Structure 1
């Protein structure tokens, strides 16, 4: 009789709609009716004698693509490996020494230190320190060395296409000697009068870097501004083609596009800065994958921002270049691949209690093959919550929906807006992915963690963030208010 009753109950449960079966996620689970695959879990985090308490779940062990939610793994692994105050160092070295006349009789080598956040400002500081060291002329070449890693093989369509042409910055190519997140910046300002071409210059140098193909017209005041930019590589040189219009009363606009070769980009910018500082390089510039000789002496060096500042930018702006460079910094062995960077993060996650399977082919999530589960991500969040020296730097990289830099998350009830910190993930190819993870605070001020991974299939309809956020924010707000 017992077995017959149990069978009947199981049959009834199997016939219930998914929204009934998804405890705690009644609204979110309605997406399964259109064929979307969802892994979701919310839990209260244990403290002291308390263990974690699952509040809601929907296939929490289903392995799905996390898209840029992958970056929380990269951030956690980097903090665990390096610590919040770690700084990456970039150096100028040479086997020669400057003479009393300021002449350096040999090559000047830029030793790329794998700083994910190296900027033009850092290059200028480096040049100033070289000048302070007494160097006024280099008889040899400027050699930009990316011996740690780079150029890194592309394993996604976006990055492979970016080697020849690109209309975005998110697919920037990778190098340990990259600057400005592997992207060129061009500035577009209105011309002197309607009907004349706009003024388009590089953001970082008086020299036109990159090359510019200006197709922007100046229009009358209040005519509106619409700009597009495409970076092309022609004859081995990068050119940014800018098209559209800008009104006479418009503010200048900065546009960013990935460069074809980050180390070459660094070499060109550095050459322009050396010249501006009055340091002549007679032999031109080149790039190299060879490590500087052990006998090379440091002439100038600059330390990057502390890792906690790097992670704030990496997570807030979901910067793929920064995340993948960090992953490569953690990889074992010489000249690692992107997959080896992912493997280093997998090794870190393997030590997290109750995490389960994880596949990371990159630290950014730009690779659609990345796989994890809602339960696994929450185990990571619980682990970081229990690390008092690392947690403040980790959680600082997440966004409050009401105050975050990404405006599209400013949806839902006040409990969601003000009591949640999140990291989002988005992919559109080969299938739609909308993912979100983070922490929440209940009305009783208990800390909780949640993760939602929504994946489409070839046959599911278009998935936008509004469809996910409207449902998720209501479900999370109900959990927050109930506890």
Structure 2
């Protein structure tokens, strides 16, 4: 009995650090939370508060902490993914390539139209003016990747968002199409143009009307499949004094999208491809030679974008990049992340089915995530890059974080995670710096149940900020 009382007393003291957050537990929400100070190599971390810290819950986009740590650990901040144009033929003296032109996708999670244009220019500089075969986009590393969520599975037919983009080692522009909507004449149609080409690269149905200066802008867009081709429907209103609005919708086939964009760029550069374009999951022939190549941005820049904007496409592509075998799938990517976590002292059990956190099957604990954060804090050569991807609430791009006291706003770096189906998930994790200049880590995972299906971010942030404010101020 004496031992049990001691354990209960210790638990109560630790939970007291999250005295406000406990209100959600009393209302039926599931919680795994822990905040602890980081000691030096000779010290044990000091736990400031915890609520069932080993409980396995869905972390949503806090999963991206694992993906960022694992790929930094494996490749280093300056690693660049390379996208290559190859062929088994060499251009003749008059610029003819008698064979197929193959884009060998290097798994670049940040490949953009600008990169494809640079690749096109380098092919032109290599002397190519005509291709007698096809333009083939090879996604032999991974793609098509089997969808694991309802939203992603629906994208092949229809897309009303960009966050559920499908995955490919040869995808461009984060697996999404982009159009720009600008006002026309008052009372007339708006102007809808492709963001990345002089003429639209897919069918566009535009029923957006231009309103006077006192009107209101409201746009609705869906990308659908019609007769085997992609088509964008844009409707609504835009005011005459509104700046052009960009709309992103997930592509039905990222590799085919790359082929379409690159094909248009080749034509614009004066390189004729006689055989059209297509995609393949086959590896380029071993005797294929490199005609042109482009290196993407350094990994440290890609991570900044992936973490700051919680880009699901980038996160899952990065996780797939960690798999050695060709034609990788998300299960293998998840296993690679799990193996990384298993090597971190004190982590404990974890299940990861994706690198983005879109999949509800991902399960980890506050203690586990904090172990990853502590591990990265100890990697002095990686920590600055890793931490830079987290948001300071006071100036981060996610406005819903700008809550709480000035102490919370300016002493915390955080990654958040959100899911709404089948239950609400609100998760946040990161580092804090106390007023005594000590570093700490914290993770809060809150999952709803069938009896508590909804939870606002403001409610969670208000409670967590009060608790962290006290911990920061008292140490």
The TM-score bracket by the shorter chain reads over 0.9
Kindly indicate whether residue 69 of structure 2 is the aligned counterpart of residue 87 of structure 1. no
Distance 1:99 1:306 in 2: 35
Partner of 1:287: 279
Alignment counterpart, residue 33 of structure 2, candidates 32, 36, 40: 40
Question: Once the 2 structures are TM-superposed, how far is the Cα of residue 222 of structure 1 from its aligned partner?
Answer: 2.7
Distance 1:452 1:425 in 2: 10
Kindly indicate whether residue 349 of structure 2 is the aligned counterpart of residue 349 of structure 1. no
Kindly indicate whether residue 326 of structure 2 is the aligned counterpart of residue 334 of structure 1. yes
Distance 1:10 1:316 in 2: 42
Question: Once the 2 structures are TM-superposed, how far is the Cα of residue 21 of structure 1 from its aligned partner?
Answer: 7.6
Alignment counterpart, residue 23 of structure 2, candidates 14, 26, 30: 30
Distance 1:81 1:461 in 2: 38
Could you list the per-position Cα deviations for residues 89-122 of structure 1 after superposition, in whole angstroms to 9, with x for gaps in the alignment? 0000001111111111111000010000000000
Distance 1:342 1:182 in 2: 20
Partner of 2:128: 135
SS at match of 2:428: strand
Segments of 5+ residues of structure 1 without an aligned counterpart are none
Could you list the per-position Cα deviations for residues 213-248 of structure 1 after superposition, in whole angstroms to 9, with x for gaps in the alignment? 111011112311100111101111111111100111
Distance 2:160 2:39 in 1: 46
Greater mean alpha carbon deviation, residues 196-205 or residues 67-76 = 196-205
Partner of 2:89: 96
Partner of 2:48: 55
Kindly indicate whether residue 83 of structure 2 is the aligned counterpart of residue 122 of structure 1. no
Kindly indicate whether residue 89 of structure 2 is the aligned counterpart of residue 73 of structure 1. no
Distance 1:37 1:452 in 2: 11
Structure 1 161/121 Cα, relative in aligned 2: closer, same or farther at 3 Å? same
Partner of 1:170: 163
Greater mean alpha carbon deviation, residues 402-411 or residues 46-55 = 46-55
Question: Once the 2 structures are TM-superposed, how far is the Cα of residue 461 of structure 1 from its aligned partner?
Answer: 4.7
Residues 66 and 433, structure 1, Cα contact 8 Å, conserved in 2: yes
The runs of 4+ residues in structure 1 deviating greater than 3 Å are 18-21
Question: Once the 2 structures are TM-superposed, how far is the Cα of residue 416 of structure 1 from its aligned partner?
Answer: 0.7
Question: Once the 2 structures are TM-superposed, how far is the Cα of residue 194 of structure 1 from its aligned partner?
Answer: 1.6
Greater mean alpha carbon deviation, residues 290-299 or residues 204-213 = 204-213
Partner of 1:482: 474
SS at match of 1:451: strand
Could you list the per-position Cα deviations for residues 428-468 of structure 1 after superposition, in whole angstroms to 9, with x for gaps in the alignment? 01110000000000011110000000000011152010010
Segments of 5+ residues of structure 2 without an aligned counterpart are none
- TM-score, normalising length from structure 1? 0.96
Counterparts of residues 193-204 of structure 1 (less than 5 Å): 193-204=185-196
Kindly indicate whether residue 425 of structure 2 is the aligned counterpart of residue 433 of structure 1. yes
Counterparts of residues 255-294 of structure 1 (less than 5 Å): 255-294=247-286
Partner of 1:312: 304
Residues 332 and 344, structure 1, Cα contact 8 Å, conserved in 2: no
Alignment counterpart, residue 442 of structure 2, candidates 429, 450, 456: 450
Question: Once the 2 structures are TM-superposed, how far is the Cα of residue 210 of structure 1 from its aligned partner?
Answer: 2.5
Distance 1:409 1:252 in 2: 27
Distance 2:446 2:268 in 1: 51
SS at match of 1:113: coil
Structure 1 464/361 Cα, relative in aligned 2: closer, same or farther at 3 Å? same
TM-align CA RMSD:
1.6
Partner of 1:236: 228
Distance 2:443 2:78 in 1: 28
Residues 411 and 469, structure 1, Cα contact 8 Å, conserved in 2: yes
Could you list the per-position Cα deviations for residues 326-368 of structure 1 after superposition, in whole angstroms to 9, with x for gaps in the alignment? 0001013221111110110110110000100010000000000
SS at match of 2:188: coil
Residues 102 and 134, structure 1, Cα contact 8 Å, conserved in 2: yes
SS at match of 1:27: coil
Greater mean alpha carbon deviation, residues 456-465 or residues 73-82 = 456-465
Residues 13 and 49, structure 2, Cα contact 8 Å, conserved in 1: no
Partner of 1:405: 397
Distance 1:38 1:230 in 2: 37
Alignment counterpart, residue 321 of structure 1, candidates 289, 313, 316: 313
Residues 423 and 453, structure 2, Cα contact 8 Å, conserved in 1: no
Question: Once the 2 structures are TM-superposed, how far is the Cα of residue 6 of structure 1 from its aligned partner?
Answer: 7.7
Residues 112 and 172, structure 2, Cα contact 8 Å, conserved in 1: yes
Distance 2:344 2:466 in 1: 30
Partner of 1:156: 149
Residues 267 and 287, structure 1, Cα contact 8 Å, conserved in 2: yes
Distance 2:425 2:13 in 1: 24
Kindly indicate whether residue 346 of structure 2 is the aligned counterpart of residue 358 of structure 1. no
Residues 188 and 209, structure 2, Cα contact 8 Å, conserved in 1: yes
Structure 1 19/258 Cα, relative in aligned 2: closer, same or farther at 3 Å? farther
Could you list the per-position Cα deviations for residues 187-231 of structure 1 after superposition, in whole angstroms to 9, with x for gaps in the alignment? 00111x222111111111123123211110111123111001111
Could you list the per-position Cα deviations for residues 149-182 of structure 1 after superposition, in whole angstroms to 9, with x for gaps in the alignment? 0000001101001110010000000000000000
Distance 2:27 2:202 in 1: 47
